[in-house]
Every structure is written in structure tokens, then in C-alpha cells.
Chain A
Amino acid sequence: MKYAPPFHHSSALLPVLAAGAVLTVLPLIFTDAYIRHICILAFIYAILASSWDLSLGYGGIFNFAHMAFFAIGLYAYGIGAKIVGLNPWLTVLLAPVAAIAFAALLAVPVLRLEGVYVILVTIAASQLLLKLIVSQSEVTGGTSGMVLLPRLTIGDYRLTDDGRIGYYYAALAMLGLSTLFLYKLERSPLGRAIKALRDNKYYAIARGVSEGRTRLYTLCASALLPGLAGAFYGSYVRVASIEVFGLAFLTLVLSILLVGGVSTIWGPILAAFLIAVFSEVLADFGSWRDIAVALAIVGVILLYPGGLFAGLQELRDFLDSRKTAATAAWGRRFQAGARAALMGAPGRSIATGHGEVALFDTGEEKPALLLIHGNSSCKEAFHRQVAAFRDRYRIVAFDLPGHGVSRNGNPRTDYSLDAYARIAAEIVGILELDRPAVFGWSLGGYVALEYAAGGHPLGTLAICGTSPLSLYPDDMPAGYIASPHMELASKRFFSWREKRDYAEATLATRAPGSGLARRAVWRTDGRAREQLFSRMKTVDWQRQVAFLRRGTAPFAMINGSEDPFIDHAYCAAFEYGAIWRGAPQSIDGAGHAPFLAAPETFNRLLGEFLEECASGWHAEKSGPAVPRFARTPEFRTTEE
């Protein structure tokens, strides 16, 4: 299941609303017809470039007939409105049909070709169309084109009146609709099929995506908008000429697409404005302008391969990591009291090989219990366990890098299960804990497993909300229930709504004292989520499986029965060497965080586990290890 929140819940909402508002009031501020003219052209370029992105970027089809689709719209408008004498509005709406018909014809050879050949065929098809238009000069005006095309009117009001304000708003509305169309299409099943074909053709076909049909739809959908834009352009400039087939126009639109960023809808729209304004500012320099624009394009592609959009995302990334770092610094400086009140003792900071992490340690000579929190959470999530166990155990808990009040780590080195497990080991070493009991929750469960499998000192191991995996990502669908919130776990940027959703799905947000953990979602460095999941493939899962199968250390699994993520049947069927009470324990009614939602039950279970281990439950049970191969996932092959 793909996580795709509706647009009004995504973080793109505010910028788009702001841009829409600015563009709506812009013509009221600048009443000059020339500025409006440039805006109208920018709108049309934006539609052209962003719709080209559909086939070129998302579809990976080197479709260079896009200008031909535009030209068809243009000439269809000219012929329909001037020669046939149809209503201009009707013609604008009908023109895309002609472009789509051409696209469908073009699809016939394109479907059989790959890569560069598609460039050739689509260019050749455009040239064929050009020759056809030139040769039919009695209809199309040949090389001199068609002039004085009818303009669009509403009643007697011409859209060119009042400094072209009618055309401005019509073009703006068209850009809005086209963007909506592309946005919806990209996220529809068809859009996913298009991207799947681009990313891994054979896998997509094997999964039932029809290559031919999808490519046909891609081309047709990609032809719809330029057809419309072409007709609108014809009604605006009132000339249909073969200039639109020229390399200059192709270069302009293609550079808008590439400078904006391929496979982003917003990038080309932004770039359309920049390039339209840039080339207008330099308009007086003639040939020098063309040279400057061309060099600027090559420069942008050279320095910013992802285009403007990638630049914007880098900026956002920078700001976001700064924001989370500042939040953490604020927490370190001003919320120490609140944390100490909740946990019953102040925390401190400790230097590790992966940066400074925030540590909580009750620090008495008792058996140690190390608590490892989950993704986008913090050590304060365990405050009920601290309260319940501190009389019997030395409680040690820490914030993972990028979480809680620890510092943000280096995304290249500090955000992985391996790094987290090493931090845990370092802390165990620094505090000189002797074979601690380790409890890990969710992501922390994997950290705990990784810690244990790495052969670090370990007394007992308990995990919660974690499905043991033997192969990543193949076991993910088996071990976890597919839910949109699973996608959030690896998502870099959270909108406020996503933060709330994530906190609600993972935490018992109504439990008293969960506020700090809830706010930890706000603070977490998005790169920690992203990097951790992208490094999941490098984790030695077999080592963890071997550890669990060996059953040499006492192991317990305590889950909430209502956990929205983990698959209880999978966890129960996993081959454990020795698991406490013979099966994963389930706490009725609790969700992903049973230690918060039902602390009494959870603490009783954990306490019983720790006590039974101390009194030798495991020693009695564990005999010589008998290998069991009821389920042998080790030899599965995986194809990426």
C-alpha cells in the first residue's frame, strides 16, 4: 500500500496556496499589459513543460513530439475557429482531441522501440507533421502560417480587453487545472504503473502492468494538455505559424523542464516563470540573450543535476535539520526540569563514537535494564517503566542520535541500526553494566536484536512491536500489516498532520505523560528516518535470526493486541530457539506502545520475565540446540 495523503494534508499545500494567491492578485498590482503578457506566456510554458514531464520524466519515454502536440492544438484551433468557423471556446476544447489522436497514432511505432530510437521517431513524426502543414498551404497558410485567428470572447467582452486580464485569469485557471490533472494522474494507479514501467520494466510487466496500454495512455495523457495549451495559445497570439516546430521553441521548453527538475510537477512550473522572466529581461541583447540562456541552462544542469526543485529540496532539508537541531537544543536548555520530573531523575549527556547522546541513568548497584526507544520517539516514552522498576533495577535509557534531546547525527554514519547498536554497546561499556537486560521497542527492538546478535554483553532480551525479519524488504509484507503509516516511518519530511498521525499510530497519545514522546515526533531529524530505512538492506538479518534460533539468551516478546503494524500470526509462527512462555505475549487492548497504554499489565509481564530469568527459567529450558527448518527463507532469491 502506498502512502499518499490527499493534497490538502500534504506539506505542499501552503506554498501552493501562497503562490496561487500571489498569482491571483498579481495582475491587480501590475496593470501593465506587457507584464501580464509575460505571465500568460509563462503559464503556457509551465503547462507545456509540466505535461511533458509526464511522458519524459515519469514515463521515461523520450517523447520529442511534445511540440507537435502543441502545434496540433494550435493549428486545430486555427482551422476549427477560422476556416470551419466553430465557436472559439468549443474549438479550444476540441483541439486536444486532435492532439490525442496524433499521440495514439504515434504510440504505434513508439511501443515497439526503446531509448534513443524513440527520440528519432518522435522527432521524425513532428517533422512529418511540419511537412504536411507546409504542403497544405491552402488550409494552413504554409510557411507563412495562419493569421488573425478569432480571439476568445465572453459575450461581447474580449479577453484581451483591460490589459489582457481575461487571458491572464484564463491561463492561470488552465495552469491550475493542468497541475491538478497531473497531480491526480501521478498518484493514480495509472501514474504508478507509468513510473513502475520506467523504474523496472520487466518487474512491472511481471506484476501485471500492461506495457503497451500504459505507454499508450502515457502518450495520450501527455498530449492532452499541450493540445489544450496550443489552442489557447492560438486564440491568444492569434497566429498559427510553423515556428512552434523550430529547435528554438523545443530548446526553450525542454530547458524549462530540465532546469525545473525532471519527474517533479512543481519544478517545471517554477522554472517556466524564471526562464520567461530571465529571457524577457535580456530581450534587448538579441543573440547574446540566446547564448546567455543556453549557457545558463548547461550551467544549471552541470551544477544542479536535479534542477531547481532539487535545489529547493536541499534548502528545505537544510532548514528542516536546522529546525530539529534547534528544537533539541531548546529541549536540552529549557526542558530538563520537565524531563527530570517525568523520569524521576535528571538526565545527562554522554559522548559516544556517534556523537553526543542524551542519557538517563539511575546509577545504583543493581541489575541493569537498558531501554531503547523506537523510531521518532525518545527515552521519556519509558517513564512508567522507570517508575516501576527503578527500585529493583538500574535503569539506563538514551535518546538515539537525531531523536529526543540527543544531537543530530551525521546522516552518512550515525543513522543506521548498526550505529545505534554500537552506541548501546558503548554506553554499556562506559557505564560498566554487567550483562544488562535489554528492552527494545519497535525500531529499538531491532537495535536490541542487532546489539544482541553482535555478541555484546547481554543478560536478557525483550522486544515489543518488532517483527523479527529474516530478509529485508521481502519479509516486511509478512511481518507487518500494510498500512499507510508504515510509509511514514521512513518519510523524511512530516507535515503537521503526518506528525499527528504518526504519533497517534505509534504512541498511546491519550496516556498520561505521553506528551514528551509525542513532541519527540516533532523533533526527530527526518534524515534519521530516511537513512535508517534506506540502510535496512545492509543489516545482517540472518545474524539476528541465528541469534533468535539459537535461543542461548532468554528472550521475550510483549506486544499490544491492537498493534496496528505487526502481524501477530507471523510473530507467533517465527522459529524461536527459546521464547518466554513459549510464544509472544499479547496485552489486550494495547496498541503499538503497550508500556504506555497499559503500563500496569506491561510492567507486570516484564517484571515476571525478568524475575523468572533471574530464577533460572531459561537455564532449565535450554538444552542442546536442535535446528529446525520448518521455514527456510534463507535461500529465497530477491530481485531488485
Chain B
Amino acid sequence: MTFETFQFILASGLILGGLYALMAIGLSVVWTTLDVFNFAHGAFVALGAYIAWQVAQYGEGLWGFVFAAGVSVGLMFVLGFILHFCLIKPFEKRPNIVLLAVITTLAASVVIESLIQLVWGPREKQISPAVSGRIEVFGTGFVANDVVALAVALAALAALALFLRRTGTGRAMRAAAQNREAAEAMGFNVTVLYATALGIAAAAAALAGVFIGSLRFINPSFGADPLMKSLIVVIFGGVAKFTSPIYAAFILGVVEAFSIYFLGLYWSPAVLFGLMVVVLLVKPEGLFGHRRKTL
């Protein structure tokens, strides 16, 4: 294997990792804050992609794409915010909230998928990429859109990290995630913070959906795959901290890229899962996880 090949595999692994991180971050934010597992995450990804596709019909090129992505992310934030009051809030006081949230978010994903089917039909669609052509990075040629996707993913994650660590709302959210009662006692409106967390998750999902939609074809039920991918990332990294799924996503992306190159497309999922099983057996709370959760 030449150095160029190595470089190429590494880079494509990083690009994959960026997408995975974007997909998984929403799942992990909801989990660390609301303590529930959001099964509608895949549907959020799909809906985000469809909204962007619809908006992109009115404008071509880079700005059309940027506008579509912005509208999609904004709308999905609002939707996520609202959905908290339909899916999670009514059941907060129930002892089996974890289980109930599973079924309500599953129901939400069914509703979203069916609505997509009704509005846009079952035919496959693709969002026209933000930039076309190839660009050269460190002497290796890449599809420009991939590089943009990675860059935007990194920027979005960085922005989210800044939001959570530097802004008042972000810190309040972390406080609510760490100790709900204490945060309430300090006068934070935990309900709004929780809804914001779901909104952020939906927005991140939408952004991931936009890029997935520009990289491959989308159909109403394509969200299931990102959901499962994020799930693996989250298990792999653990959800103890905001950053742990991000590292895990990049590790998994690179591992997947290498295993695709060396073992082929068929066996790479098996490698990933094998790795996951090993992680679970050795460190069940995830590679970067702690028993206690903090956002």
C-alpha cells in the first residue's frame, strides 16, 4: 500500500467520521439531557434532507444549497422543539419514561416517514451538491462536496461545543443535564432547555441529512440507516460526555474506511460490529464513557 493510498483511505475515513459525528451528536445530546433514546432521530435526518431538497428546487448552486440547508436546519430545530412537548413532556413523570419514550419516538418516526411518503412520494431524490468537481488536499484529489461536508460538520460541532460551553443557555442546558432538580432550583426553565436540546438534535440531524442527501439518493425511509450508524457510534463512544461520540465517530469512520479497502464492502459492517462487541465486553459504558453522565 502506497502512502497515497493510505492518505486517501484516512481522508475518506475522516469524511465518513464527520458525517457519523453529525448524525450521532443529536442522539447523544438528547440522551445526555433528556435521558431518553430518540428513535425518531433517523426520521429527523430524512425529513431534514427532504425539506432541503424541496427548498433547493428554487435555487441552484452553492447559495441555493446554503439557503436550503439553512431553512432545513431552522425548521427542524423548531420541529424538534415542538415535538418535545408531544413526545417526551407528557410522560416525564411516569416511572417507565424510558420505555414510553421509545414507543412515542418510534411512533413519531412512523408518522414523519408516512408524511414524507405522502408529501414527496416514494421516488428517490438527490440534492444537488453544494460544490462540484474535485479539489486537491495534500496532494490527493477529493470530491469537493465531501471536503465541504467534513468542513461543515466540523464547524457545526465546534459551534455546538462553543454554544454548550460558552453561552448561558448552553451552560444551563448542561446544568439541566447533570442535575435536573438543582437546575430547576436555580430557576432555569428546564422544560424549555429540554425542548431546546431536542431542537438542537433535530437541527444536527437535518444538517447530516442535507449532506447525506447530496452524497447519495434519499427515499422516505432512508433514515433507518443513519439511526443505526449513530447508534453504533454512541455505543462505541459512550454518551457520558458531549465529545465522546465525536471521537468515536472519527475512529469508526477511519476503521470502516480501512476495512472497506482491505476486506470489502460485505465484511466491513461485521468488523464494526465485532469491534463494538469487544468494546461492550471490555468497557460496556463505551470507550470514552463514564458511569455518570455529563453533557
Q: What residues make up the interface of A, taking CB atoms closer than 8 Å to B?
A: 56, 62, 64, 108-109, 112-113, 115-117, 119-121, 123-124, 127-128, 131-132, 135, 246-248, 250-251, 254-255, 258, 262, 286-288, 290-291, 293-295, 297-298, 301-302, 305
**Is B280 in contact with chain A by the CB < 8 A criterion?**
yes
State the Cβ distance, A143 to closest chain B Cβ, in Å: 12
Nearest-neighbor residue (CB-CB) of B276 within chain A: A124
Are A131 and B224 neighbours in the complex by a CB distance under 8 Å? Answer: no
Pick the contact of B270: A117, A120, A131, A288 (CB < 8 A).
A131
A109 touches B280 (CB 8 A): yes
Q: Which residue of A lies closest to B107 (CB)?
A: A294
Instruction: Name the CB-closest residue of A to B273.
Output: A128
Partner of B39, one of A56, A247, A286, A290: A247
13 pairs across A/B with beta carbons < 8 Å? A109-B281, A124-B231, A124-B280, A127-B273, A128-B273, A247-B39, A247-B106, A254-B102, A286-B117, A294-B108, A294-B111, A298-B107, A302-B91
Q: Do A287 and B114 form a contact, CB below 8 Å, given A62-B98, A297-B107?
A: yes
Q: Is B118 in contact with A251, judged by CB distance below 8 angstroms?
A: no
- A12–B5 Cα gap in the complex (Å)? 70
CB distance B273 to A251 under 8 Å? no
- The answer to whether A287 and B231 have CB atoms under 8 Å apart is no
Min CB distance, B64 to chain A, in Å? 29
Across the interface, name the chain A residue whose C-beta is closest to B86. A298
Query: Given the complex, which residues of A lie within 8 Å of B87, measured CB to CB?
Result: 298
Distance, CA A121 to CA B110, complexed state (A): 22
- Residue total for B at the interface (Cβ-Cβ under 8 A): 47
Which single member of A56, A124, A246, A295 contacts B107 (CB below 8 Å)? A295
B281 to chain A, nearest CB (A): 6
Cβ–Cβ contact B110 & A294, under 8 A:
yes
Taking a contact as CB atoms under 8 Å apart, the answer to whether B117 and A287 are in contact is yes
| Contact residues in A for B31 (Cβ distance below 8 Å) | 116
Expressed in whole angstroms, the minimum distance between the Cβ of B271 and any Cβ of chain A is 10
Q: How far is the CA of A305 from the CA of B93 in the complex (A)?
A: 11
| Bound Cα distance from A348 to B36, whole angstroms | 59
A26 to B107, CA, bound (A): 32
* Residues of the B chain whose Cβ atoms lie less than 8 Å from the Cβ of A113: 280, 284
- The answer to whether B276 touches A288 (Cβ under 8 A) is no
B91 touches A301 (CB 8 A): yes
Q: Specify which chain B residues have a CB less than 8 angstroms from the CB of A258 in the assembled complex.
A: 99-100, 103
- Would A124 and B103 count as touching, CB distance under 8 A? no
Q: Give chain B residues whose Cβ lies under 8 Å from the Cβ of A248.
A: 110
Residue B58 at the chain A interface, CB threshold 8 Å? no
Chain A residues near B211: list those with CB within 8 A: none
- The contact of B99 among A62, A286, A290, by CB within 8 Å, is A62
B109 interface hit (Cβ, 8 Å): yes
**Closest A residue, CB atoms, query B289:** A117
Q: Which chain B residues lie closer than 8 Å to A293 at the CB level?
A: 110
What are the nearest 5 A-B pairs in CB distance? Answer: A294-B107, A287-B114, A128-B273, A131-B269, A294-B110
In Å, the complex CA distance between A127 and B42 comes to 15
Return B34 CB to nearest CB of chain A, in Å.
11
Assembled-state Cα–Cα distance A558/B113 (Å): 73
Residues of B14-68 whose CB lies within 8 A of A: 31, 35-37, 39, 42
Of residues 230 through 244 on chain B, the ones whose CB sits less than 8 Å from some CB of chain A are 231-232, 234-235
With A119-B102, A288-B114, A294-B108 as known contacts, state yes or no: A124 contacts B281, CB within 8 Å: no
B256 within 8 A of A: no
Give A295 to B103 CA distance when docked, in angstroms.
11
| Inter-chain contact A297/B269, CB cutoff 8 Å | no
Residue B162 interfacial (CB < 8 Å): no
- Complex: chain A residue closest to B113, CB-CB: A290
Known contacts A109-B277, A117-B284: A298-B117 contact under CB 8 Å:
no
In the complex, residue of chain B having the shortest beta-carbon distance to the beta carbon of A111: B284
Say yes or no: A121-B94 contact (C-beta < 8 A), given A62-B99, A127-B231, A247-B39: no
Judging by beta carbons under 8 Å apart, are A287 and B118 in contact? Answer: yes
Classify the interface of chain A: helix, strand, loop or mixed. Answer: helix
Q: Return the chain A residue nearest B93 by Cβ.
A: A305
* Shortest Cβ distance from B291 into A: residue: A114
Are the CB atoms of A247 and B224 closer together than 8 Å?
yes
Contact present for A301 and B103 (CB under 8 Å): yes
Q: How far is the CB of A298 from chain B (nearest CB, A)?
A: 5
Query: Contacts A117-B285, A247-B224, A251-B103 given; 18 further ones with Cβ under 8 A?
Result: A56-B99, A62-B98, A116-B37, A120-B235, A123-B231, A128-B270, A131-B273, A135-B267, A247-B42, A254-B102, A287-B115, A287-B117, A288-B118, A290-B113, A294-B108, A298-B86, A301-B103, A302-B90
CA of A155 to CA of B100 in the docked complex: distance in angstroms?
A: 47
When chains A and B are docked, how far (Å) is the Cα of A290 from the Cα of B116? 12
B104 within 8 A of A: yes
Q: State A561–B42 Cα separation when bound (angstroms).
A: 70
Which residue from B94, B109, B115, B228 sits with its C-beta under 8 Å from A127?
B228
Give the CA-CA distance A287 to B279 in the complex, in Å: 40
Cα–Cα, bound, A108→B278 (Å): 11
Q: Are A120 and B269 in contact (CB under 8 A)?
A: no
Question: Which of B113, B227, B281 has the most C-beta atoms of chain A within 10 angstroms of its own C-beta?
Answer: B113
Interface flags, B256-288, vs A, CB<8A=1, else 0: 000000000011011001001100110011000
The verdict on B2 contacting chain A, using a C-beta distance below 8 Å, is: no
Closest Cβ of chain A: how far from B186's Cβ, in Å? 26
With both beta carbons as reference points, the residue of chain A lying nearest to B42 in the complex is identified as: A247
| Set of chain A residues within 8 Å of B103, measured between Cβ atoms | 251, 254-255, 258, 297-298, 301
Q: Which residues of B contact A127 (CB under 8 A)?
A: 228, 231-232, 273
Interface centre among A109, A117, A293, A305 (most CB of B within 10 A): A117
- Interfacial chain B residues near A302, Cβ < 8 Å: 90-91
Kindly provide the distance from the CB of A307 to the nearest chain B CB, expressed in whole angstroms: 11
Cα(A200)–Cα(B188), bound, Å: 33
CB nearest neighbor in A for B108: A294
The reply to whether B235 and A121 contact each other, CB–CB distance below 8 Å, is yes
A248 to B266, CA, bound (A): 25
Given the complex of chains A and B, what is the CA–CA distance between A84 and B87 in angstroms? 47
Given A112-B284, A258-B100, A305-B94 in contact, is the A124-B111 Cβ separation under 8 Å?
no
Alpha-carbon distance between A13 and B86 when the two chains are bound, in angstroms: 40
User: In the complex where A112-B284, A124-B273 touch, is A295 in contact with B98 (Cβ < 8 A)?
Assistant: no
B111 adjacent to A295 (CB under 8 Å)? yes
Q: Which residues of A contact B285 (CB under 8 A)?
A: 117
Contact B110 A290 (CB under 8 A): yes
B114 x A291 contact (CB < 8 A): yes
- For the complex formed, measure the closest distance between the CB of A516 and the CB atoms of chain B, giving whole angstroms: 43
Contact across chains for A135 and B39 when beta carbons are under 8 A apart: no
Decide: A120 and B273 in contact? CB cutoff 8 A.
Answer: no
CB B61 to nearest CB in A, in angstroms, measures: 33
Q: Which residues of B contact A288 (CB under 8 A)?
A: 114, 118
Task: Give the CA-CA distance A78 to B98 in the complex, in Å.
Answer: 35
